[in-house]
Chains A and B, each alone.
Chain A
Amino acid sequence: MTKNKELKEISVVLAGNPNSGKTSLFNGLVGRHLKVGNWAGVTIEKYEGFIEYEGYKIKIVDLPGTYSLTAYSPEEVITRNYIIEENPDVIVNVLDGTNLERNLYLTTQLMELEVNSVIALNMYDEVKEQKIEIDFKQLEKLLGSHIIPTNSIKKEGFKSLLHHITRVYTGALSVPKNKLSFSEEVEKNVERLTEIIKGDQTLANKYHPRWLAIKLLESDQLTYTSTKERAIWLNIEKELLDMIPKYEDMFDSSPSMTIAEDRHSFVRGAVKETVQYPKEIKKTLTDYIDSVLINRLLGLPIFLALMWLIFQFTFKLSEAPMGWIETFFGFLGEAAATIIAPGLLQSVIVDGIIAGVGGVLVFLPSILLLFLFLSFLEGTGYMARAAFVVDKVLHKVGLHGKSFIPMITGFGCSVPAFMSCRTLKSKADRITTMMIIPFMSCGAKLPVYILLIGAFFPVAYAGNILFAVYLFGIIVAILSAKILKTGLFKGESEPFVMELPPYRMPTLKAVLIQMWIKAYMYIKKAGTIVLLASVVIWFAGNFPASREIDKTYADKAHTVQFNQILDDEQKESQINEFENIRLSKQLEYSYAGRMGKFIEPIIRPIGFDWRIGISLVAGLAAKEVVVATMGTIYSLGGEEDEGSSDLAASLRNDKKYDIATALSLMIFVLLYIPCLAATVVFHKEAGAWKWTSIYIAYSMTVAWVLSFAVYNISKLFLV
């Protein structure tokens, strides 16, 4: 339906290989009329946009980049289903003009669909630069489609492309029949199946009969499923059960293999006939760069150095803006506190909403920076090389080379780490990587370690203990990957058959769009839910409030106020102390406090009492809060940080705590579920409650079991 009645709408999709410049062509075409969402059920971004041209409103959907239309990867399923089910008016097949032989394989599969199509021969500037000569006329005849040379960066050929799209749509431009055919025996079988399919009018109307026949002969699972419900399936199945084994006997190869080989030979023939490559063989820039970047000796050190630099830059550069955001929300809180009268409303707005939203937005600078760097590296083509370099190590524990980036990112913050798992195409690899990311100790857990190490260990050992905690997390992560991969996703793994694309300088716009998409999704999705949850946690920490406690300490403060013996300074310090004790008692009385006491039986075996319990519950909001909450419980006021010697001393002098408790608590904080923001992002990225519940249950169990082990072992040897 068109919104504007005067404009006729044409629906167009862009289909093409990854790295064919499809996305930059899309960006160039639609300009700012861009809408980004997700394809239903998967974490693959869906780009839509429109452009007005000669009285038409051309709606363009950028399909995920694929090499083929088999139904294995989610990208392929999306692309296929969209083309088949949504029946777009025109398909624009985007090709990387410098690598026609690989790109045309997908074209052959689109040709089988017999739909209106136009070919955009992209990166035409590079084609000319490399002195590759293409006989467009002849290639058009072979492929049965009009070919328009384009250059998405300089926006060359766009007018012509739009012109062709509209003319093909109206039928003003005739499209020649393509010259693709298969070997004799395959053709015979295809024809026989096509005839049978034509017997079912509904089926033949829905799918192109010849295409359906080819797919059935290829033993394509998706087509089987969609054809099985038809009555005619019995006839089809009988034919297939007859012809496939016969074929295999005759040719010692399956029809699907022959079909693929025929497509490749067609492409090879077409390229040979119409494309002239320059005579001399020149080493390309990619050859030179790769001979250094993924060199056998230098490959790993360069990779590690690059990662180290990204992390240094991300976390150092984001420190200042994070400070500004904190200051801003601090200021906002104070401003709100002066405007709104003290009381519940003030408390919920200042301590609940402003603190909660601020606590989430404070991660924004690191997300922006990290994704700026990662999008840039992805755009250049280096990411595929990074996976190539480290794959062996990760493959050992059942992961994929691409899992490395998210894992490393986890040391900074789990939130961007979860989001960077999107580059992992297989669900098994992605979910497993996401489950182990929280074991990579994030930045917010550091204050807890520093406090506990400072309180219970001699300074000389401090560095080693801290290192050991981080190492412990890595080991748990590796073992977990192994367990999860064999337990949950037995045998499922993405094959590592991956293109190493030529190096290209990505456009700034493309990098910024990628970065912004990640940031926007974080703000939108995490923001709303975290906001709600912050209010819940605030509520648990403040309700119910005991009037008696308030009254007792108000009375005490009152008595001090009129005490004649004390000077002003002593009075103030005593009143402060009463206020801190009051806060501590109120916290104990609140739902959070009761929760701490309620879970005490569960956490007693690992060496914790209800006070640690409250801190751990509060730590669900954010890990730094564990320290602040302990400060409150020890009546030191809420403003404690890890450098506080008062809190460290209180902990040390507490007879209930010892080194075993400290170790156990560090392990527990390291392993139990990360903060709320991270958990929400996990849920969004994993996409199902099933994974979120497994993830919570798994990390809680691992945390408890290992803390229990560490507590009891160190009780035996250290205390």
Chain B
Amino acid sequence: MKMTELKAGDKAEIISIKARGEVATRLIDMGLVKGTRFKLIRKAPLGDPIEIMLRGFFLSLRLNEAENISVEKIGHVGDGKPMGGGRRGR
């Protein structure tokens, strides 16, 4: 599924990133690479952009950037599924 299809509180893992050019570089630099696990924290009041938590920090990105990211849902907040990484990564 696409990252945009996740709901607030969902945990997921990145399968692939289709973006090119600057967007791709930005995503990679911020730690969004294949295999990265993250949690969708919330959507902005108007539905776009979204906020995710990965590697122990919070990141916002627009839906049209998240469109390029294929993910697999692995759980929902509170289920204790491990996510690796930083202080809240578990």
A and B pair up:
yes
- Would you give the 0/1 interface string for B56-74, flagging 1 where the beta carbon is closer than 8 Å to chain A? 1111111001000000000
Does B51 belong to the interface (CB within 8 Å)? Answer: yes
- Would you give the 0/1 interface string for B27-68, flagging 1 where the beta carbon is closer than 8 Å to chain A? 111110111100001111111110100011111111001000
Given contacts A99-B86, A277-B86, contact A70 B59 (CB under 8 A): no
Does B23 belong to the interface (CB within 8 Å)? Answer: yes
Given the complex of chains A and B, what is the CA–CA distance between A708 and B39 in angstroms?
A: 55
Binds B, one of A200-208, A293-301, A574-582, A637-645: A293-301
Q: How many whole Å from B36's CB to the nearest CB in chain A?
A: 8
Does A534 belong to the interface (CB within 8 Å)? Answer: no
Binds B, one of A354-362, A495-503, A524-532, A565-573: A495-503
Given contacts A101-B86, A496-B62, contact A393 B44 (CB under 8 A): no
Interface of B is mostly: loop
Q: How many whole Å from A11's CB to the nearest CB in chain B?
A: 27
Q: How many whole Å from B11's CB to the nearest CB in chain A?
A: 13
Inter-chain contact B62/A391, CB cutoff 8 Å: yes
Inter-chain contact A392/B31, CB cutoff 8 Å: no
Inter-chain contact B62/A499, CB cutoff 8 Å: no
Inter-chain contact B49/A68, CB cutoff 8 Å: no
Inter-chain contact B28/A260, CB cutoff 8 Å: yes
Q: Which residues of B contact A271 (CB under 8 A)?
A: 85-86
Does A40 belong to the interface (CB within 8 Å)? Answer: no
Inter-chain contact A299/B86, CB cutoff 8 Å: no
Option from B23, B84, B87 in Cβ contact (under 8 Å) with A132? B87
Q: How many whole Å from B40's CB to the nearest CB in chain A?
A: 13
Option from B33, B41, B42, B45 in Cβ contact (under 8 Å) with A300? B45
Option from A388, A392, A401 in Cβ contact (under 8 Å) with B51? A388
Does B26 belong to the interface (CB within 8 Å)? Answer: yes
Does B81 belong to the interface (CB within 8 Å)? Answer: no
Inter-chain contact B48/A395, CB cutoff 8 Å: yes
Given the complex of chains A and B, what is the CA–CA distance between A87 and B70 in angstroms?
A: 41
Q: Which residues of B contact A395 (CB under 8 A)?
A: 48, 62
Does A486 belong to the interface (CB within 8 Å)? Answer: no
Q: Which residues of A contact B7 (CB under 8 A)?
A: none
- B interface with A by C-beta (< 8 Å): 22-23, 25-31, 33-36, 41-49, 51, 55-62, 65, 84-90
23 intermolecular pairs with C-beta atoms under 8 Å apart: A102-B30, A130-B87, A272-B84, A277-B86, A277-B87, A278-B87, A286-B58, A290-B42, A296-B45, A299-B44, A299-B45, A393-B46, A495-B65, A496-B60, A496-B62, A497-B30, A497-B60, A497-B65, A498-B61, A499-B59, A500-B58, A500-B60, A502-B58
**Closest 3 interchain pairs by CB?**
A68-B29, A299-B45, A392-B46
